[in-house]
């Protein structure tokens, strides 16, 4: 876990061409102390902040008790349900679960926006997230750590700014459609708890987001995009740095991606010992670069990409490991084996050992990227596949497709024509237009380059006619061309001869309604074979019609 300390709040200058907006915090210094009564009172006496409130969590639903000490310290006892917020705007839900109260309101700070700071002295932190929000410090019960946290709290007063790290395009988000939940990648890997469901899409709380980047690298469609810097700017900078490295005479280049804080500090200790073929590259967070960026690095001249591994068991690390597995499976299909590595780098030895191996790189790509994740991925792979024999030798096997593990964001949709009725429910929910109708013809078309393997279509299909097959189809011309996965001859209206349905749908309707009392005569059954206009006209022309009140 990282503390919400002031160092990470400072605006870090970016070489980005495309600028991002800022997120502003305001802290007046009113601190909420969460602790047992004895410890809390003692710490509160030493804490020199403009305001402070002591909250003592209880196990029982005994209501809310508020008192003041002789020194004027407000002490509130109640059952703690949850803690939420960020620097300048913290609050807790307390009391009974069915009718929770606001701790900020009870303490009299709700009109000010809530508590500015939180000092959590619980043995186990109240917040269980990988990355704690700014303004929340949880030193535990160690006195030295408590003293250090109190010093940090004094620095967390005033006005602060940080970059808005993300852009979000809800129109291509594969989270949900029509009540069907599909992709939850960004929610699963967010280490701050900043992402939640919001209708068909997601909501990202900019005040909680700390730029970890896992959401953008794991997003299959590019709906969540890193903005500090934007992907196109990052790739442009990467291409330039690789060109400079080659100009210095490096025969092969190992790109070492590390973050600009902890990774940079560790690198200073052993950078002088690194081989000349190693190019360290500092990024805001290592997870901000994903499959598209790794492939671009190889296409722009890197022979190998090593990512400095985040802390063990973090959501960021799990997300990176999943994406690396997919990326290496795709590269292996064209003979580029183990070109992407996730390593815990503590000294120069592991990097130098990798750099000492024989890694071939190919001709340098010249394409530009435009912040389109899937397009960038395919551009880079087209280049790598074209020059695979240079990268991996003449004997390399270059496949047309490669199978990927479930959860990969590439693949095809397999439709069973024997059960599919072309109802097109799948087309309605597909967030990426990978499934398309035949316009005037009863057809179902599939565009593989667009498919996210989100599973929305599989869940929406009423006939269970759809299954997913994760894979990567390398040939871009084939992947970019819609193909028909099911079609039928249209069923024409028996009155006006206008096509309005498929043979399968009409046949199924007749079969299911054959025994129903409302369709017990030939006239009613015949209406099933009419288009909407002719069906209405026939009902009004038939004096008998249908007795809807029949019992």
First to last CA, the chain: 68
Q: What is the pLDDT of residue 196?
A: 98
Task: Tell the burial category of 395 from Cβ atoms under 10 Å away from its Cβ (0-12, 13-18, 19+).
Answer: exposed
Residue 250 confidence (pLDDT): 78
pLDDT at 54 over 80: yes
Q: What is the pLDDT, as a whole number, of residue 547?
A: 52
Q: Return the pLDDT at 549.
A: 47
534, pLDDT greater than 90: yes
Compute the average pLDDT of residues 8-35. 74
What is the predicted pLDDT for the residue at 514?
75
- Percent of the chain at pLDDT exceeding 70: 95
Q: What percent of the chain has pLDDT over 90?
A: 79
The 10s digit of each residue's pLDDT in 234-285 is 999 999 999 999 999 877 899 999 999 999 999 999 999 999 999 999 999 9
What average pLDDT does range 88-112 have in this prediction?
A: 95
Q: What is the pLDDT of residues 410-426, one digit of tens each?
A: 999 999 999 998 999 99
- What is the per-residue DSSP string for 408-461? -S-EEEEE-TTT-----HHHHH-TTS-EEEETTEEEEEE-GGG-----HHHHH-
Determine which of 89-93, 200-204, 215-219, 485-489 has the lowest per-residue pLDDT on average.
485-489
- Higher pLDDT: 231 or 394? It is 231
Q: What is the pLDDT of residue 19?
A: 75
Q: Over the stretch 282-307, which tens digit does the pLDDT of each residue have? A: 999 999 999 999 999 999 999 999 99
Which residues are 260's β-sheet partners?
Answer: none
Q: How confident is the model at residue 95 (pLDDT cuts 50, 70, 90)?
A: very high
pLDDT band per the 50, 70, 90 thresholds, residue 520: low
Region 43-61: mean pLDDT is 94
Domains of the chain, first to last = 22-160 (3.50.50), 164-226 (3.30.70.20), 231-398 (no CATH), 411-487 (3.30.70.3270), 490-541 (no CATH)
Confidence of residue 60 (pLDDT cuts 50, 70, 90): confident
pLDDT at 394: 86
Position 5 scores a pLDDT of 39
Task: Report the candidate in 255, 384, 389, 387 with the shortest Cα–Cα distance to residue 327.
Answer: 384
What does the pLDDT look like over 147-189, one tens digit per residue?
999 999 999 999 999 999 999 999 999 999 999 999 999 999 9
- What local confidence, expressed as pLDDT, does residue 519 receive? 77
Per-residue confidence (pLDDT) for residue 17, from 0 to 100: 58
pLDDT reported for residue 456? 98
Q: What is the DSSP letter of 2?
A: B
Can you give the pLDDT at residue 23?
A: 97
Task: Please determine, for residue 10, whether its predicted confidence score (pLDDT) is greater than 60.
Answer: no
Q: CB count, 10 Å around CB of 10?
A: 9
Please tell me the distance from the alpha carbon of residue 363 to that of residue 358, in angstroms, as a whole number: 17
What's the pLDDT tens digit per position in 439-468? 888 899 999 999 999 999 999 999 999 999
Residue 16 pLDDT > 50, yes or no? Answer: no
154 vs 370: CA distance, rounded Å: 43
| Residues contacting 38, CB < 8 A, separation 6+ | none
Q: What is the DSSP letter of 518?
A: G
């Amino acid at each position: 876990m990282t503390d919400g300390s002031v160092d990470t709040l400072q605006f870090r200058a970016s070489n980005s061409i495309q600028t991002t907006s800022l997120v502003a915090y305001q802290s007046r210094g009113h601190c909420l102390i969460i602790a047992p009564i004895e410890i809390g009172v003692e710490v509160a006496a030493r804490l020199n902040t403009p305001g402070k409130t002591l909250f003592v969590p209880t196990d029982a639903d005994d209501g809310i008790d508020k008192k003041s000490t002789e020194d004027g310290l407000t002490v509130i006892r109640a059952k703690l349900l949850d803690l939420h917020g960020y620097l300048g705007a913290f609050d807790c839900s307390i009391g009974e679960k069915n009718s929770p109260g606001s701790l900020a309101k009870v303490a009299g700070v709700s009109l000010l926006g809530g508590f500015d700071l939180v000092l959590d002295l619980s043995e186990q932190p109240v917040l269980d997230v990988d990355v704690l929000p700014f303004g929340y410090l949880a030193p535990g019960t160690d006195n030295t750590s408590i003293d250090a946290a109190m010093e940090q709290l004094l620095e967390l007063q005033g006005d602060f700014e940080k970059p808005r790290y993300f852009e979000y395009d809800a129109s291509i988000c594969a989270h949900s459609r029509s009540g069907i939940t599909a992709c939850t990648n960004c929610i699963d890997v967010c280490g701050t708890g900043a992402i939640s469901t919001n209708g068909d899409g997601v909501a990202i709380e900019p005040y909680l987001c700390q730029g970890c980047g896992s959401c953008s690298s794991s997003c299959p469609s590019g709906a969540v995009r890193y903005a500090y810097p934007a992907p196109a700017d990052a790739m442009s900078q990467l291409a330039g740095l690789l060109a400079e490295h080659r100009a210095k005479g490096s025969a092969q280049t190992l790109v070492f991606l590390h973050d600009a804080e902890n990774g940079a500090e560790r690198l200073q200790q052993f950078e002088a010992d690194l081989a000349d073929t190693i190019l360290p590259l500092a990024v805001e967070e290592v997870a901000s670069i994903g499959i598209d960026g790794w492939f671009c690095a190889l296409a722009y001249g890197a022979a190998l990409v090593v990512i400095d591994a985040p802390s063990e068991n973090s959501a960021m690390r799990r997300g990176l490991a999943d994406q690396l597995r997919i990326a290496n499976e795709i590269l292996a299909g064209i003979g580029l084996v183990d070109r992407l590595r996730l390593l815990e780098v503590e000294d120069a030895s592991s990097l130098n050992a990798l750099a000492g191996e024989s890694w071939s790189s190919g001709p340098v790509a010249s394409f530009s990227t435009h912040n389109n994740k899937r397009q960038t991925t395919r551009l880079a792979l087209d280049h790598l596949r074209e020059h695979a024999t240079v990268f991996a030798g003449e004997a390399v096997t270059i496949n047309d497709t490669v199978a990927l593990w479930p959860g990969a964001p590439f693949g095809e949709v397999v439709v069973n024509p024997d059960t599919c009725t072309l109802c097109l429910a799948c087309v309605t929910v597909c967030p990426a237009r990978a499934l398309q109708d035949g316009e005037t013809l009863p057809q179902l078309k599939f565009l593989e380059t667009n498919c996210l393997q989100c599973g929305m279509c599989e869940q929406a299909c009423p006939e269970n006619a759809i299954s997913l097959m994760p894979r990567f189809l390398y040939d871009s011309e084939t992947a970019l061309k819609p193909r028909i996965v099911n079609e039928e001859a249209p069923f024409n209206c028996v009155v006006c001869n206008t096509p309005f349905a498929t043979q399968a749908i009409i046949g199924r309707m007749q079969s299911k309604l054959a025994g129903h009392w409302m369709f017990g005569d030939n006239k009613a059954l015949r209406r099933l074979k009419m288009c909407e206009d002719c069906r209405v006209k026939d009902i009004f022309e038939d004096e008998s019609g249908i007795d809807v009140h029949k019992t």
